[in-house]
Structure 1
Amino acid sequence: MSERTALIVRGGWEGHAPVEATELFLPFLKDNGYSVRVEESPEVYADAEAMARTDLVVQSVTMAQIEGPQVEGLRNAVVAGTGLVGWHGGIADSYRASSDYLQLIGGQFATHPAKEPELRVGGQEDNYLRHTIEITDLGREHPVTGGIADFELDTEQYWVLHDDLIDILATTTHPVRPWHPWHRPITSPAVWTRQWGAGRILVATPGHSVDILQHNSVRTIIERGILWATRTASA
């Protein structure tokens, strides 16, 4: 197996445990022949030589800031064939002030609805709702999600704003509840891919905490996504 290069970029809000979350996938990367570099900020994206040698970026950076040359470097690398994979806020809620980043990803976290007011206690658990991740028809045939059945999670349920250039492999539906202001169910993408130039992008919105990343279906999707998004010989 020829060695491939993976770059892990992590940081931002500590509530998403970026170090522990990315460490979870290090054994998988190494077992599959990747040489892994870990960076604690997006500064590396501005290093054109380093990015040209990178076959895959695994990003876990929630919120934070990205400079113009950094987002330009990431975009250029993906166009040239570097794959990009991430989960939850580490990719769908990164660099909120950068429209160029948001266009690259194709979807942006908007909110995660909360429990009924009388059940809230002031912690992150206030936003944990039982919900279903439903595999789409496309997802049932896709190498990332094929063979995975619909599954339930008790965690944050992302409401995502998105464009129509994404290929949606799984969705989740926010129901109408008396304490919320919307008037009909809203379906959001939960797992999607995006082709950008020669590069492939995989976004999975589940992954708020390490235990969710350890869920068999979530972990399988991310691990398959790593292999699927990695630069191919033709890229």
Structure 2
Amino acid sequence: MTRKQALVVRGGWEGHEPVKATELFLPFLERSGYDVRVEESTEVYADVAAMARTDLVVQCISMAEIAAEELAGLGTAVVAGTGFTGWHGGIADSFRASSDYLHLVGGQFATHPGKEPCERHGGPEDNYLPHTVNITELGREHPITAGIEDFELDTEQYWVLHDDLIDVLATTTHPTRPWQPWQRPVTSPAIWTRRWGAGRIVVTTPGHSLDVLENPHVRTVIERGMLWATRTASES
């Protein structure tokens, strides 16, 4: 049986520990029949031959910048059938200056609301809030999230700007709080898929730190998402 080709591309802001985070999933990919290539920059996206051979791209690059020819190469590969997936800022907060990247992914991090000002002490925990990830009706039937019940997290809760071409498998709701300026609860997609040409995209917004990635619900969604997005995945 021909092994599938996975490309893991990592880098950007070190606060999301792109090396350690991606290393968590390399054994799963290898056990699942993938040959895995790891790159520390987006330069590989401009390699037409390499991208044409790639069945799945797993990206973990927060913020950073991407050259026009690299983004064009990624987009062309996805349209041709290469799967594209990632978690948290590694896919939903990548290349903020690129509207074409936002158009490809369908949603982008806007903020993660913080604790009450008197409870903040200057560390990353200032933005950790207990919240629920709610599986949608579509999510209860989708192979990525089927069988997963709503679950609780205490970590960054992503507020996402998005379009309506995404298929939302899970949401999270930002409540009103006295110290925040919005006047009604706001629901953001937390897990979504997107069809782009012949390609499949999966975005999972939880995953700020290694402990969140090791949460059994989050890890299951990410791993199933890798399989579903892959070029050779069966239609469903």
% identical aligned pairs: 74
Corresponding position of 1:70: 70
Q: Distance in 2 between matches of 1:233 and 1:185?
A: 37
Q: Secondary structure at the match of 1:195?
A: strand
- How many angstroms does 1:234 deviate by? 8.2
Number of aligned residue pairs: give it: 235
Q: Shift of residue 95 of structure 1?
A: 0.4
Q: Which residue of 2 aligns with 1:11?
A: 11
**Mapped partners of 1:31, 1:108: distance in 2:** 31
- Per the TM alignment, residue 192 of structure 1 is displaced from its structure 2 partner at its CA by 0.1
For the structure 1 residues 132 and 233, does the alpha-carbon distance in structure 2 shift closer, same or farther, using more than 3 Å as the test? Answer: closer
Residues 151-162 of structure 1: pairs in structure 2 closer than 5 A: 151-162=151-162
- State the Cα deviation string for residues 63-117 of structure 1 (Å, max 9, x = none): 0000000000000000000000100000000001111111000000000000001
2-structure distance, mates of 1:206, 1:12: 18
The structure 1 segments of at least 4 consecutive aligned residues displaced by more than 6 Å after TM superposition are none
CA distance in 2, matches of 1:117, 1:91: 29
Q: Secondary structure at the residue paired with 2:232?
A: coil
CA offset at residue 233 of structure 1? 7.2
Is the alpha carbon distance of 1:233 and 1:19 closer, same or farther for their aligned partners in structure 2, counting shifts above 3 Å?
closer
TM-score by length of 1: 0.99
Q: Which residue matches 1:225?
A: 225
What's the counterpart of residue 20 of structure 2?
20
Query: Residue type matched to 1:214 in 2?
Result: E
| SS of structure 2 residue aligned to 1:153 | strand
- The aligned counterpart of 1:30 is 30
2-side partners of 1:234 and 1:24: how far apart?
25
Q: Which runs of 5+ in 2 are unaligned?
A: none
Deviation for aligned residue 1:232: 2.0
SS in 2 for 1:207: coil
What CA RMSD, in Å, does the superposition of the two structures yield over aligned residues?
Answer: 1.0
Matched, 1:140 2:140: yes
**Pairs within 5 Å for 1:1-235:** 1-232=1-232
Give, in whole Å, the separation in 1 of the partners of 2:64 and 2:126. 23
Q: Does structure 1 retain, via aligned residues, the 8 Å contact 2:227–2:233?
A: no
Distance 1:210 1:80 in 2: 32
Amino acid at match of 1:48: V
Letter in 1 for 2:93: D
